[in-house]
Structure 1
Amino acid sequence: MLTMRTLLLDSTFFPVRIINWQKAMILLLTGRAEVVTEYDDKKIRSTSQSFSLPKILRLYNRHNTQRQVKFTRLNVYLRDDYTCQYCTKSFAFKELTFDHVIPVSKGGKTTWKNIVTCCKKCNSKKGAKTLKESGFQLMKPPKKPGWSATMCLRIKENDPSEWFMWLPN
């Protein structure tokens, strides 16, 4: 089974998202996108036609590109570089949690500005205390990150090298 992915660009050549090959073929065959580059060795065949799978597609119509980062656990960890914001040590994904700077029990919300990456040991020590009550200090104040290819596109190690020339720095 094919697990090929396609980088989708908007009409201005800005990366929008990564889509599966089925969605790419639908956009292509319905005339909503054009091929920028294709896989040389990957073909889709019907009873009467053969198509190369697109590596990169560009949408013809203007696309309302959402240039905001979704609030997810992984994106919090990426924003904080997998580093506990209290003890400043780096950890693997499975060794981390996230912490409400202002605890939920004290009115804290689950937002970019109130959540930080935290190791399990520090999270256990802090518990439902405020920073002042716990004696902890933040490495840096939490904030909503700007759009980045790393957070929004989820590029994998085995994705085509051509994709990287389309990604903003």
Structure 2
Amino acid sequence: MEARILRLNIAGQPIEWLHWQQAVTVEARGLVAWRLGEVVRTVRGGRCRLSGKRTRMALSSIIACDGERMTPVKANPPLTNSALFLRDKNQCLYCGQIFTFADLSRDHVHPSSRGGEDKWENVVAACKRCNQKKGDSLLSEIDMPLIALPYRPNPYEYLALTNSARILGDQMAYLQPQFHHYSCARPTFSLVA
């Protein structure tokens, strides 16, 4: 599995994951202000016709980009089922059992049919059985307590969630201190050497 490169803005806030080809473009355009972490890939280019030397570019696992054209940090990361299920560790937050992606669904704690919003702070992973049992009831109307409260991941947590299978140790070391203290993401990532 190929490692991705963590792109930060000049202030050190996470922006996105880059494939090595995208990182080469950013480096070649001179937009990298500083680098952290190990070299994850060395790219060789063509030979200079005058000197005969071959160009080389070492790509670090974390790069910070300068310039006004760089994307600002997303304060409200997009809500997707895959990120939601990863946030909740593929666990139904009603019965506590672990399920596969296909066996989970998005449950609105305050049902959308009763004015609940489709936002991080109102949704949890639920097995299909529990979701159907809860239906459009409020938690105060039934005996189905949540085992954890829903929350919106910050940009650091969201980037870790969306690349958890390929995250490198130095990248996690950079992101993890900024996780919320109640984050489900904190203890469960396997680090790729």
**TM-score grouping bracket, smaller chain normalisation:** 0.7 to 0.9
Which string of whole-angstrom CA distances, capped at 9 and with x for unpartnered residues, describes residues 74-95 of structure 1? 2322332322121122223232
Specify the alignment match of 1:43 in structure 2.
43
Partner of 2:57: 52
Alignment of 1:4-83 (within 5 A): 5-34=4-33, 36=35, 38-39=39-40, 42-46=42-46, 48=48, 49-55=54-60, 56-61=62-67, 64-83=72-91
What's the counterpart of residue 88 of structure 1?
96
Structure 2: unaligned runs, 5 residues or longer: 49-53, 178-193
Amino acid at match of 1:51: R
Q: Does residue 1:155 correspond to 2:163, yes or no?
A: yes
> Is the contact made by 2:45 and 2:55 (CA closer than 8 Å) also made in structure 1?
yes
The separation in 2 between residues aligned to 1:26 and 1:4, in whole angstroms, is 17
- Identical aligned pairs, as a percentage? 25
1:128 CA drift (Å): 3.1
Contact 2:10–2:65 under 8 Å retained in 1:
yes
- Residue 138, structure 1, aligned to residue 180, structure 2: no
The aligned amino acid for 1:135 is: D
**Structure 1 alignment gaps of length 5 or more:** none
Q: CA deviation at 1:148?
A: 3.1
Which whole-Å CA distance do the structure 1 matches of 2:169 and 2:14 have between them?
A: 14
Report the CA distance shift for 1:76/1:11 in structure 2 as closer, same or farther (over 3 A): same
Q: Is the 2:92–2:125 contact (alpha carbons within 8 Å) kept by the matching residues of 1?
A: yes
For the aligned residues, what is the CA RMSD? 3.0
Tell me, in whole angstroms, the C-alpha distance in 2 between the residues paired with 1:61 and 1:82.
Answer: 38
Scaled by the length of structure 2, the TM-score of the pair is 0.67
Pairing 1:166–2:162 present: no
User: Matched residue of 2:57: which SS?
Assistant: strand
Secondary structure of the corresponding residue to residue 97 of structure 1: strand
Shift of 1:23: 1.9
Partners of 1:13 and 1:141 in 2: how far apart?
29
Report how far residue 34 of structure 1 moved.
4.5
- In the TM superposition, residue 118 of structure 1 has moved relative to its aligned partner by 0.4
Which of 117, 124, 127 matches 2:132?
Answer: 124
Secondary structure class of the residue paired with 2:83: helix
Q: How far did residue 163 of structure 1 move?
A: 2.7
Residues 95 and 10 of structure 1: CA distance in aligned 2, closer, same or farther (over 3 Å): same
Is the 8 Å Cα contact of residues 14 and 166 (structure 1) preserved in structure 2? Answer: no
Aligned pair 1:113/2:112, yes or no?
no
CA distance in structure 2 between the aligned counterparts of 1:137 and 1:158, rounded to whole angstroms: 34
CA contact (8 A) 2:5 2:20 kept: yes
In structure 2, distance between residues paired with 1:45 and 1:159: 27
When structure 1 is superposed on structure 2, of 56-65 and 96-105 the one drifting more is 56-65
Tell me if the contact between 1:43 and 1:51 (Cα under 8 Å) persists in the aligned partners: yes
User: 1:45·1:51 contact (CA, 8 Å) conserved in 2?
Assistant: yes
C-alpha change, 1:61 and 1:109, in structure 2 (3 Å) is same
